[in-house]
Structure formats: structure tokens, C-alpha cells
């Protein structure tokens, strides 16, 4: 078991814990067992057959945000999340997964999303009907978390499309509005594959699938490929899609955009998709403003606390991690955070009272008045 990760597990076992200072979970909890080194050396003992694979080990594999801050600091480039994803899958297969995870699955099953809600119905209330009727090869996949937790982003996206005279994008009209990321990060592989197959068969009818959630981009682009459901270059991040329009179209800028903003890099944007410069360039392109940077930004970003399915099992620690990130915003006396991940947006909003937390697209939409022609 886990032999495919033998080298990573062995390296961590012999390492003097050189990525400890990068891990937000360790920084908050202080528990060596939940640090990258601890998780990996424990799993190595499971691999070697020294420790039984039981519920405790299964639970251990969920003590990680999958943020890859450790990988960023590891000279060997060791990746912890793929190992943990594998353990989670095994945990589910062997009926060892924590009750929170099985409970999550029950919730998911009701409407094929983690929120137990008919998100298509909700989506229909967010965007005008005309976008549903479009017979178009280009669609916008809103993502379950965005629909459920920050629906204004979808409205703003289509408003921005209109301002930029982009009239050929429809909205993904199916009843399943989730790419399956919450399932696969929770180790629910069979359910993920079932869902992904259904999605794949509808997605492949489109030429371009635009999405604003970095975890969805990664899942559709990379994880689907691992299950021979590759959508290849069909999957485009909203930033990639908007970039040429924002470059070439002559639009007017609102006058009141001089607000100081700080940009938070979601882990999936910068460490999985390696999109560090593009969001900053788009902000610069539209507003001429350079966002204030967090002390840890770009590939050295710090997780909002909402990474992976960590918060399902560890709500308090996850909130504490978020508060540490927010403390810096207060210290820097900034009122507005711009970011790009619906989970980060939701997390920040829940843990702050007066801050304005916006998706990048909403921000750009706010700044742009309309085209000049």
C-alpha cells in the first residue's frame, strides 16, 4: 500500500522537518503529527506495515489543507496532497473514513453538490433566462460554491461580458453544477468518477468551458485527465478568457476606483495552476492600480483556511487560519480583499465583519463602465 509514493514518504521520514515553518496547520495547531513531516512519516510506517491502516490513520489524512505550501519550501519538491488524496480514497474504500466525510457524501447525493440544494434553480434566479437559451459552443461553468455562496460573481461576470460586448457565452444549463472537486478531495473516488463521466459527456459538446473557480479549472483540466476524461484545452480560466478582451477593447473606467485593494492568491491559482502574474496584470491593465501584497503572496501565498475538505473536519482551526490571514489586512489598514476562489471569498466573509471581499471579476466589472464606441 502507498508504494507508489515510497520515495516521497521515505524522504520525509529522514528529513529534519524543513518545511515546518511553511505549514499553516502546524502554525495554528502546533501538533507535529499534523505537520507535513509527521503526516508523511506516519504514513510511511503504514506503508511499511508497522502501523495498521485504521480509522485514526484515515482521519490523519484529512488534517491537511492541500495548500502545497510545504512543497514550495521543500527542496525535493515533495508533494504531500497526492499522497493524502490516495490515503483518503483508500479510507473511503475500506469504510474507515471519518463520519464527517460519509455525512458529507449523503448531503452531496441529494442534489449532486455539497450544499444539498437545487443549484440550477438558484442559478436561474441569478442570471437572465437568455443565457440559458443560447445555443453556443462557449459556456460559463459557474461552480457549485459560487452559486451557493457568492452568486453575485456570476451576475457580475455576465454584466462584464455585456460591457465588453461578449455576447456568445451561455451558462452551463445542466442540473449538475459541480465538477466533483469536493468529492475527489474527500477521497470519494467512485462517486467522483460517476459524476465526472456525466459531466464529461455534456462538457465535451462544448468548444470552450470557462470557469472562475481555480479548483474547478484544475479538476476539469487535470483531474479529469487522470480518469481518461480529458477535456484538454477546452477548459479555460476566466482570466485566460478575459485577457484578450481587456487588452484590445476600448472601455471606459469608472472614476471612483482608487480604493486600496489587497490581492489574495488562492492555493489552486498559484500552486496548482501557476497563475500568479495574470490576475495582477488584469488589475493593472484595467485600473492602473497595483494591489497591495500580503507578506505571503504569489507562490508563497498562505491558505485562507478553506483548502480541500479540511474545514469539514476542523472548523475551528480552519477559522483560526483564516483569522491569521485577515489580521494582516487589518494591520495594513485595507478595506478590500480581491481574490478568485469562491471558497476563499466565503471563508473571509465569514471571519471578518467589515471588510469587503470581492472576486476579481466583480472588481473588474465594478471598475469598467462600458465600451467607448
Given 167, 190, 316, 369, the residue binding other proteins (CB under 8 A): 316
Given 5, 28, 29, 40, the residue binding ligand SF4 (CB under 6 A): 40
The item of other proteins, ligand SF4, none sharing an interface with residue 205, based on CB under 5 to 8 Å by kind, is none
Report, in Å, the least distance between residue 102 CB and other proteins: 21
Strand pairing report for 169-171 and 292-293 = unpaired
With cell 468518477, the residue in question is: 193
Asked if 209 and 235 touch (Cβ cutoff 8 Å), the reply is yes
The item of ligand SF4, other proteins, none sharing an interface with residue 32, based on CB under 5 to 8 Å by kind, is other proteins
327 binds other proteins (CB under 8 A): no
Nearest to other proteins of 45, 249 (CB atom):
45
70 binds ligand SF4 (CB under 6 A): yes
Nearest to 275 by CA among 251, 243, 304: 243
Three-state SS at 62: coil
With cell 490516495, the residue in question is: 86
Task: Rounding to the nearest 10 degrees, give the CA dihedral for residues 135, 137, 138, 142.
Answer: 70
Distance between CA atoms of 57 and 250, rounded to whole angstroms?
56
Residues from 59 through 98 that contact other proteins (CB under 8 A)? 60, 73-77
Measuring CA to CA, how many Å separate 43 from each of 4, 9, 96?
A: 13, 7, 15
40 binds other proteins (CB under 8 A): no
Nearest to other proteins of 167, 316 (CB atom):
316
Phi-psi region of 280 (alpha: psi -120 to 50; beta: other; left: phi over 0): alpha
Nearest to other proteins of 33, 253 (CB atom):
33
Number of C-beta neighbours around residue 255 at 10 A: 7
Given 23, 83, 184, 273, the residue binding ligand SF4 (CB under 6 A): 23
User: Where does this chain bind ligand SF4 (CB under 6 A)?
Assistant: 11-12, 15, 17-19, 22-25, 36-37, 40, 64-70, 74, 76, 78, 80-81
User: Where does this chain bind other proteins (CB under 8 A)?
Assistant: 7, 10-22, 26-27, 29-33, 35, 38, 41-42, 45, 48, 50-51, 56-57, 60, 73-77, 295, 316
Amino acid at each position: 500500500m502507498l508504494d507508489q509514493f515510497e520515495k516521497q514518504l521515505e524522504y520525509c521520514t529522514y528529513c529534519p522537518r524543513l518545511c515546518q515553518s511553511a505549514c499553516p496547520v502546524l502554525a495554528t495547531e502546533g501538533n507535529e503529527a499534523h505537520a507535513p513531516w509527521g503526516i508523511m512519516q506516519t504514513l510511511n510506517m503504514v506503508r511499511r506495515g508497522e502501523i495498521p491502516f485504521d480509522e485514526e490513520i484515515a482521519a490523519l489524512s484529512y488534517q491537511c489543507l492541500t495548500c502545497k505550501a510545504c512543497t514550495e519550501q521543500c527542496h525535493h519538491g515533495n508533494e504531500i496532497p497526492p499522497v493524502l488524496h490516495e490515503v483518503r480514497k483508500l479510507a473511503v474504500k475500506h469504510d474507515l473514513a471519518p463520519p464527517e466525510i460519509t455525512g458529507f457524501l449523503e448531503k452531496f447525493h441529494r442534489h449532486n453538490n455539497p450544499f444539498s440544494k437545487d443549484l440550477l434553480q438558484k442559478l436561474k434566479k441569478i442570471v437572465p433566462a437568455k443565457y440559458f437559451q443560447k445555443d453556443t459552443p462557449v459556456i460559463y461553468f459557474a461552480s457549485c460554491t459560487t452559486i451557493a455562496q457568492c452568486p453575485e460573481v456570476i451576475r457580475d461576470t455576465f454584466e462584464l461580458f455585456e460591457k465588453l460586448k461578449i455576447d456568445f457565452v451561455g451558462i452551463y444549463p445542466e442540473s449538475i453544477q459541480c465538477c466533483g472537486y469536493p468529492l475527489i478531495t474527500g477521497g470519494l473516488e467512485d462517486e467522483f468518477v460517476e459524476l465526472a463521466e456525466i459531466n464529461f459527456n455534456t462538457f465535451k459538446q462544448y468548444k470552450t468551458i470557462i470557469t472562475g473557480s481555480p479548483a474547478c479549472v484544475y479538476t476539469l483540466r487535470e483531474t479529469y485527465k487522470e480518469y481518461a476524461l480529458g477535456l484538454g484545452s477546452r477548459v479555460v480560466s476566466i482570466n485566460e478568457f478575459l485577457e484578450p478582451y481587456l487588452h484590445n477593447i476600448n472601455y471606459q473606467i469608472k472614476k471612483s476606483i482608487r480604493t486600496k485593494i489587497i490581492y489574495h492568491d488562492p492555493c489552486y491559482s498559484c500552486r496548482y495552476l501557476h497563475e500568479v502574474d495574470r490576475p495582477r496584470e488584469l488589475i493593472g491593465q484595467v485600473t492602473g492600480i497595483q494591489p497591495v501584497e500580503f507578506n505571503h503572496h504569489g507562490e508563497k501565498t498562505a491558505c485562507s483556511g478553506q483548502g480541500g475538505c479540511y474545514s469539514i473536519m476542523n472548523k475551528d482551526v480552519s477559522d483560526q487560519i483564516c483569522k491569521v490571514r485577515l489580521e494582516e489586512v487589518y494591520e495594513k489598514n485595507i478595506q478590500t480583499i480581491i481574490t478568485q476562489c469562491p471558497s476563499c471569498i466565503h471563508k473571509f466573509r465569514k471571519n471578518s465583519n467589515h471588510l469587503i471581499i470581492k472576486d476579481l471579476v466583480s472588481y473588474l466589472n465594478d471598475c469598467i463602465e462600458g465600451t467607448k464606441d
